[in-house]
Amino acid sequence: MPEISVGFIIVLLLILWAEFVNGWTDAPNAMATVVSTRVLSPLQALIMTVLLNFTGVILAGTAVAMTIGRGIVEPSAINLTTIGAAMSGIIIFSTGAWFFGLPTSESHALVAGLAGAGLAKSGVSVLLWAGWKKVIIGLLFSTFLGFVGGLVLMFIIYRLFARVHLSTGRKIFGKAQIFSSAFMAFSHGTNDGQKSIGVFALALALAGIIPMETFKNPSFQVPLWIIVVCALTMALGTAFGGWKIVKTMGFKMTKLEPVNGFAAETGAAATIELASRLGIPLSTTHTINTAIMGVGATKRLSAVRWGVSGQMVFAWILTFPCCALIAYLVTKLVMLFSG
């Protein structure tokens, strides 16, 4: 039986803390539009989001988890110190952004943190192009497919329902948006929920609780208890926070009707599901935000509050350097004081 160290326990707590932060800064994306259109009450939306996020994590598979756990940084450069440093970057940066009501991408925060910690320990050579290529593809997926998906779906709906009375359309899409919001919450779990699972499993392997050779096997399946723990932690984060993010996305970006919320959620969720099946880690935050922008732009460009959108984009840009720098400094400090 491997010896459980204090450092190992601290790292596991940091992983769960980062997943909790993900629950209040990223998971609320799934319920922002359904609350702003008043299709569901905040409590109803919260319950649905928590349950569907949890279900998505449980049923997701492990393709994205394996990309995060093995494909971003050379495994030889990863230890408990670098994992803890990467989690510190996520916690510090995302909590700061949450304070200002800005949704952040925990996906990008995680890969940036792992990269920064790996660089501090072993230099540039530890970065793995295969995994980073998926990250770049995910960035394109979330930015462009999210925007185009919302835009195209909105145009199709306008064409198909052009002769439907406005009040009738609201009733139809009021009901449809419940399903699109559920789809969005589920897809968030299938992609974002996997990331902490991969890191959690890697930490256990480094501590000798899971055999490292087994973890390196492409057919390796993450133990169910790890999936359940991470899913519950993210669900709790969503339950205890997130209203600042809901307010920014659902009310400040553009005025949304049920039909707009349906198009944005459906386009974003479909993009996320495709990425999850391909093992591509992408930002659900970017995806739903750009989908909302695309939906708003179908009315007129001025319908989107580009000042608010610009603040979010600025936060996205800062994610990579800030999280990498925090993780780099934390790793160097631990190495310095631990000798």
**pLDDT tens profile 149-183:** 888 888 899 888 878 887 888 888 888 888 888 88
Q: What is the pTM of this model?
A: 0.79
- The per-residue pLDDT for range 60-104, each reduced to its tens digit, is 656 666 666 666 788 777 889 999 999 999 999 988 887 777 777
Domain presence at residue 135: yes
Mean pLDDT across the chain: 80
Task: Count structural domains, the chain.
Answer: 1
Burial 256-284 (b: 16+ CB within 10 A, else e): bbbbbbbbbbbbbbbbbbebbeebbbbbb
* Confidence at residue 324, expressed as pLDDT on a 0 to 100 scale: 93
292 found inside a domain: yes
Domain assignment present for 1 = no
Q: Of residues 82 and 214, which shows the higher confidence score?
A: 82
Query: Can you give the residue range of the structural domain that contains 125?
Result: 6-338
Would the pLDDT of 29 be above 80? no
Residue 194 inside a domain? The answer is yes
Tell me the C-alpha distance between 44 and 31, whole Å: 10
Give the pLDDT score at 215: 60
Residues 301-329: b if buried by 16+ CB within 10 A, e if exposed: eeebbeebbebbbebbeebbebbbbbbbb
What confidence category does residue 129 fall into, taking pLDDT thresholds of 50, 70 and 90?
confident
Q: What are the helix (H) ranges across the chain?
A: 6-25, 29-36, 42-58, 63-71, 80-99, 106-122, 129-140, 146-160, 166-206, 212-216, 224-240, 243-247, 258-277, 284-297, 306-338
pLDDT digits (tens, 9 = 90+) for 271-330: 887 877 777 767 777 787 788 888 877 776 666 666 766 777 787 788 889 999 999 999
With a cut of 90, say whether residue 13 has pLDDT above it: yes
